[in-house]
Chain A
Amino acid sequence: GQSLEQPSEVTAVEGAIVQINCTYQTSGFYGLSWYQQHDGGAPTFLSYNGLDGLEETGRFSSFLSRSDSYGYLLLQELQMKDSASYFCAVRDLDNFNKFYFGSGTKLNVKP
């Protein structure tokens, strides 16, 4: 099975940089994805790491270290609209049609 843990809540100010961690215990997965979800809305894809290392997409970057069972999402130049919940997720290696989501991190961006 898969278990992904995230901090429940993070608060930061506009313009700052924030890192949201995801530690996991898995039996194998294809890659680590990150999704953003605003209150009442659907998750939207942000970033994906199939290999170890850093992936950069604009203000968002994501990192994966399989040896450390750890990944993170880095948000730079925070904006008020970044206030949302962020989820890490994996696709099971043994069952391609099975996705597991982390517990989610609520990011509060303050002026």
Chain B
Amino acid sequence: GAVVSQHPSRVICKSGTSVKIECRSLDFQATTMFWYRQFPKQSLMLMATSNEGSKATYEQGVEKDKFLINHASLTLSTLTVTSAHPEDSSFYICSAGTSGRTDTQYFGPGTRLTVL
């Protein structure tokens, strides 16, 4: 159980275009999803917390107009990188958190974005 999918797994786009990444919880309902960014050989940096039916909460330094997050249902959250630039190239990972003792997050497989 607790499977999270992410699509696409890899995307290459031209500078100035927008890219949408989908994150789905396949076998459970996720009221909260998280979006992370990871540069090579570095740790995961939380970008924003996505709550179903409400606006996302962005971490300090993350531009909400550039990284649009929509959590339209209990199983789907999307991240749109608008007007992408080469410095936006990174590994983007979503996760769905759980409450309770284990305090676990279940991660999607990630999306490798390359902006040319």
Q: Which residues of A approach B to under 8 Å, CB–CB?
A: 30-31, 33, 35, 40-45, 48, 50, 87, 89, 91, 96-104, 106
Number of A-B residue pairs at CB separation under 8 A: 63
Indicate which residue in B6, B43, B57, B103 contacts A48 across the interface (CB closer than 8 Å): B103
**Which B91-116 residues sit within 8 Å CB-CB of chain A?**
93, 95, 97, 99, 101-110, 112
Indicate which residue in A41, A91, A98 contacts B103 across the interface (CB closer than 8 Å): A91
Tell me whether B101 and A50 are in contact (CB under 8 A).
yes
A96: chain B residues at CB < 8 Å are 99
Tell me whether A103 and B43 are in contact (CB under 8 A).
yes
B62: chain A residues at CB < 8 Å are none
B51: chain A residues at CB < 8 Å are 97
Tell me whether B44 and A45 are in contact (CB under 8 A).
no
Asked, given contacts A30-B103, A31-B103, A33-B104, whether A43 binds B32 with beta carbons under 8 Å apart, the answer is: no
Tell me whether B57 and A97 are in contact (CB under 8 A).
yes
